[in-house]
Structure 1
Amino acid sequence: MQAANRLQKSLKAGNPAYGGWQMLPGTNLTRVLCRAASNMDWLLVDMEHGNISDDSMHEIVAAAAACAVSPIVRVVDGQPWMIKRALDSGAHGILVPVLETVKDAEDVVRSSKFPPMGNRGFEPLLAVEKFVEQHAHGGNVKELSGREYLEQANNSLVIAVQIETQSALEHVKEIAMVPGVDVLFVGPFDLGVSIGHPIVGGKMDATLELAIQSVQEAARAAGIKAGIYCDSGEDAREWAAKGFLMNSVVTDMIGLREMVSQSFSSTR
C-alpha cells in the first residue's frame, strides 16, 4: 500500500507533494487533471465545498488512482460515517475540516484506524484495487488481498486535519501530537477570517503569516508534516521552501475560469 500511495511516499521522503483540487463532478475531468502534469502527486476530492456526491466521490477516487495519482477526500465533517465512506472507497487519505479541539483530532484518528488503534469497520472490497502500484512498462499487477489491506492500512493512509479555526490554532501543538495525525493542513483564507485577519487583495498580513508559521512549527516539533492550500505553482513552491510539503497547486474551478478568461481576452 505504501508503494502505491504517492502522497505518503513523498511526505515520508521529506519531499514536496504537489496536488490538484477537484470541486466539480466527473471522471473525465479527473483524468484530464491527473494526466495534465506528471508531477501531480495527489488530487483532493472536495466533498465539503465541492459539487461532489458520494457516488461521484467513489468514481473520482477510482479514476485518480488509475492515473497513479493519490486520491485524497476532503470529507464534509469529521463524522465517523463520512470518514468510513471516504476510506472504504479506496482513498489514499482524508482531509478533515473545521477542527476545534484535541478531542476532535483524536476522534478523526479513531474513525480512520482499524483496531486496536481505532474502531473503523472492515470491508476492503472497493478499496483494495486503488493500491495497485503503477509500472511504466506494464507487466503483471497484483491487487492487495483483504488481509493485506487490513494489516497495512493503519500505516499507509494519510490522515490530514485542517487548522482553520481560532480554537484549533490555540491548541495546534497538542493536536499535532495526537498519534495517527500525519499532516496539519492550513486554509489561509479560512484561518484568516477565523482569527480576524482575512486575506485582502490576495495578500495576507503579518499576523496571519505568524499564525501559519505556528502551524508549521507545531508540525515540525511533533515530527509530522504541514500542508497549505495554494492557488498557483509559484505559491506552492514558495511555501514548500518554508517547510510545507502537502501543497495544492490548482483548483479546477479557478483554473478553468482563468484559462477561459485568458483565451477570450485574446479575441479583443
Structure 2
Amino acid sequence: MASNPSMLRSNRLAQVFLEGKGPAMGAWQMLPGSNVSRILARTGVDWVMVDCEHGNIDDAAMHEAVPAIAALGVSPIVRIPDLQGWMIKRALDSGAHGVRPGRPAGILVPLIRTVEEVESVVAAAKFPPLGRRGFGSPIAAQNFQPVPSFTEYLQQANEGLLTMVQIETKESLEAVEMIAPLVDVLFIGPFDLGNNIGHPIIDGKMDPELDEAIARVLKAANTAGKKGGIFCTDGEQARSYAEQGFHMISVATDYTALGAVMAQSLATAKGGVWKKAATY
C-alpha cells in the first residue's frame, strides 16, 4: 500500500516523529472557536489537542477547530468524550492528522481500562475487513494539500491510522504491556492516573508511586516500539518529561494559559509581583 508524500508533508506531527530529534510539543484546546484554534496553532507547537471530553467543545466546534489548525501546518488531534464507536467515527471524519507517512487521522481515547476495550477502539477506527468504521465522509481528507482522492484515503487509513489511548486508570496500568502493541501512542493523564492508583496529585506533589507508574508506561511504549505521551501543565514540567524521553508532550492548555498571562499582566500593571499559581 503506497504512501502519499504530499500527505506526509502536510503532517507536522509525522515529521517530528520520523525525524526523531526531540518530542512533539503541543497545546490543549478546551475553549471553542476557530480563532482560538488559530492562536494556538501559531505559537510554534507541532500539534493541538481538540478536547471534546473535558473541554467546552461540541461536535460542531470540533469540525471548525480541526481545519483551522490543519490550515496552519499543525496537526490536529481529537480527544473524544468516550470510547463509543460513533464518537470515534465522528472524530476521524473531521480529518484530524496521524503520525506516519500518508496516514490521515488521529484520535485520543480517554479512561481505557482493559485490553478488550482497546481492541474495540481499534476496530471502530479501522475500515473493513480490519474493523467496522463506516466510509463515506468527504471531510476527512480535506485537511491535506493536495487533497487525496476517496480511493487514496481508503487505501492508506487502515495501515497507519494514529490511535492513542490514555493510560489513566489502575486497570490500564496493570495491562499496559499488553495494550502498548495495539496502539500508536500511550498517552498519560497524570491527574486521573494518580487518583486511580491511590496517589493523587495534591498541591503539586507527585508521590514516588505515581512517578514509577509514569515510568512504567513510557517503558512499555518503548519496548513495543510505540510512542509515549504525557499531559503537562507548564513549560518547566514539559521540559522535565522531554529529558526523560517522552515523544509527545502537552505544554499548556488555552484556559489556564489565558488566566496566567492575564494575572501576570495585571500584577505588573498594579506595580506588584506576580506569583505563579500551582500548576496542579
Residue of structure 2 aligned with 1:146, choices 125, 150, 169: 150
Residue of structure 1 aligned with 2:136, choices 123, 131, 134: 123
Contact 1:231 1:249 in 2 (8 A): yes
Residue matched to 1:27: 34
Q: CA RMSD in A?
A: 1.2
Q: Distance in 2 between matches of 1:176 and 1:20?
A: 24
Residue 5 (str. 1) matches residue 14 (str. 2): no
Displacement after TM superposition at 1:157 (Å): 3.2
Q: Distance in 1 between matches of 2:36 and 2:198?
A: 36
Displacement after TM superposition at 1:156 (Å): 4.2
Q: Distance in 1 between matches of 2:9 and 2:140?
A: 15
Q: Distance in 2 between matches of 1:250 and 1:198?
A: 20
2:27 is aligned with what amino acid? Answer: G
Residue matched to 1:56: 61
Q: Distance in 1 between matches of 2:115 and 2:78?
A: 21
Residue matched to 1:189: 191
Displacement after TM superposition at 1:124 (Å): 3.6
Q: Distance in 2 between matches of 1:25 and 1:6?
A: 22
Contact 1:8 1:156 in 2 (8 A): no
1:176-255 to 2 correspondences below 5 Å: 176-178=180-182, 181-255=183-257
SS at match of 1:250: strand
Contact 1:105 1:175 in 2 (8 A): yes
CA deviation vs aligned residue, 1:71-124 (integer Å, no higher than 9, x gap): 100000111100000000101110000000001111111111112221111124
Q: Distance in 2 between matches of 1:114 and 1:243?
A: 33
Q: Distance in 1 between matches of 2:54 and 2:9?
A: 30
Residue 101 (str. 1) matches residue 114 (str. 2): yes
Contact 1:101 1:168 in 2 (8 A): yes
Residue matched to 1:262: 264
Q: TM-score, normalised by structure 1?
A: 0.92
Report the count of equivalent residues: 255
Contact 1:61 1:91 in 2 (8 A): yes
Residue 16 (str. 1) matches residue 23 (str. 2): yes
Residue 74 (str. 1) matches residue 79 (str. 2): yes
Q: Distance in 2 between matches of 1:116 and 1:4?
A: 28
Q: Distance in 2 between matches of 1:194 and 1:3?
A: 40
Q: Distance in 2 between matches of 1:113 and 1:245?
A: 24
SS at match of 2:202: coil
